[in-house]
Chains A and B, each alone.
Chain A
Amino acid sequence: MKNLHEPDQMRGDFELTRREFIVAGTAAVALTALPGVGRAQPAATTSQSALPLTKVSFNVNGKLRELELDSRTTLLDALREHLHLTGTKKGCDHGQCGACTVHIGERRMNSCLTLAVMQQGASVTTIEGLGTPENLHPMQAAFVKHDGYQCGYCTSGQICSAVAMLREIKAGIPCHVTSDLTARPQLTAAEIRERMSGNLCRCGAYANIVDAITEVGGKSA
């Protein structure tokens, strides 16, 4: 039986996944009902159980977390399935949508395209670490104010991406639409759109997202 969280499901390998799901149905439901028993746990296949788990520790939102993981576990799955930080979303699982964007150190990264074991010793910040409902990060507050979302699925990735993107502009990192490579990049709508192109929004909230980022960028500049 394959791990239900493998991207097969998203590739239309539906026959197999559905059968597995029915076979595993009761067990899966029972497991997910128990907090702390993630469905992405390994040992679902014989070859899997032959592999020892790898110890990994990294800092997430200011707390040291230690995990024992199947080496195949992506940072995204470690966050969502093992640490239950489900604010970070899985959209495509292939680096194409940006829903899984988190900060590793100061930088935005796609957590679906890095292995948790590769992040030994790293400092990871997720949407949960940026702000809380009582104490929103200015970017979170601006998304609320400007209606920078509709369904909200892409939003945590958009916000994490936007916060780090403003740091990139501040650090003078150029982008595709920067006309003069030797000058400091400016915070224009065209710059924001290009720099945020790794974050897709199926609901098309783009105009409001640009407004939210412009407001925060203007204040911090």
Chain B
Amino acid sequence: MKPFTYEKPRTPAEAAAATARHPGAKFIAGGTNLLDLMKLEIEAPGHLIDVNGLGFDQIEATPEGGLGIGALVRNTDLAADERVRRDYAVLSRALLAGASGQLRNAATTAGNLLQRTRCPYFYDTNQPCNKRQPGTGCGAIGGVNRQHAILGSSTACIATHPSDMAVAMRVLDATIQTVRADGATRRIPIADFYRLPGDTPNVENTLQPGELITHVTLPKPVGGAHVYYKVRDRSSYAFALVSVAAIVQRDGTGRVALGGVAHMPWRIEAAEAELPQGAKAVATKLLAGAKPTEHNAFKVPLVERTLAAALLEAKG
């Protein structure tokens, strides 16, 4: 690990001042992704700003009838919240399908959204990787790329976003609330939060340097049957090959988003119009323009089958 200095601010204003003083500083929340990467020197911030003293650890009803989730709410507590279990079950299910009990106790809402890819070439500092070191190339293209993206990838990067929670947040139309170093706040709809890799796979979202996530808000509940269906190499404690977050209403209409297939949760509203026609019709629209790699062509039929399984489960 590269040396760093450490501070734990008590207020968002202090945190903002700290980011202004230390360009290149990083926030640390649960630490379960950042420390992992710092040990490998994939991340090497010169200064760490511990956000665990800032509060933001409550889940509160919003005036609009939704839920405001503090950035520091632990994954365990979010999954177990009674309102989430009742009204946003897809979110509980996605959280519980990820990581382990120990990790969920430490992992936070903001940290989960911002966790970095699990591409093995990103993790191996002997390999070229445009995400880790822009301009060095992509080891996964032409390499072992079974876990990689089939949608929205570029000639620079074919990585996937590993978060299960983010897929549920996408299908729930969550909004990310932030405060910038200059104190200005903003709300970013999750549809505008993540970026495709393009030529700059190192830029993964629309946050600015030093911008702190304070809350993630959910709109008022939409009802329906909530399903998170995750396909992975073993039945627990593994990242998704393909996952489906679905909310299906009695009349067969609804929403779906895919995980494990792109650099961001993959949702195409036009595909959702096909939901009453069944999984095949939806999958065809979702997979338009799919570009599987040498080793992951299996993900294309797997998307349709996972969708079919999720829709069946939604019927109860």
Contact = CB atoms under 8 A, between A and B. Distances in A.
B237 A173 contact: no
A161 B6 contact: no
Contacts of A118: 8, 28, 31, 50, 52
Contacts of A108: 101-102, 105
B36 A113 contact: yes
Given A51-B3, A71-B5, A198 B101 contact: yes
A81 interface: no
Contacts of B105: 107-109
Nearest to A51: B3
Interface in A38-92: 47-48, 50-51, 54, 70-72, 74
Contacts of A165: 101
Interface stretch (A25-33, A93-101, A142-150): A93-101
A109 B106 contact: yes
Interface residues of B, number: 37
Given A198-B99, A198-B237, A6 B93 contact: no
A9 B28 CA distance: 25
A113 B40 contact: no
A172 B80 contact: yes
A181 interface: yes
Interface of A: 6-7, 11, 47-48, 50-51, 54, 70-72, 74, 93-95, 98, 101, 107-110, 113-115, 117-118, 120, 161, 164-165, 168, 171-176, 178, 181-182, 193-199
Given A95-B36, A109-B102, A196-B101, 19 more contacts: A6-B1, A48-B3, A50-B3, A93-B39, A98-B100, A101-B102, A107-B105, A109-B105, A114-B30, A114-B106, A115-B48, A120-B8, A161-B102, A173-B79, A174-B92, A175-B96, A178-B96, A198-B99, A199-B100
13 contacts: A51-B5, A71-B48, A110-B102, A110-B103, A113-B32, A113-B36, A171-B80, A172-B80, A174-B96, A193-B236, A197-B237, A198-B100, A198-B103
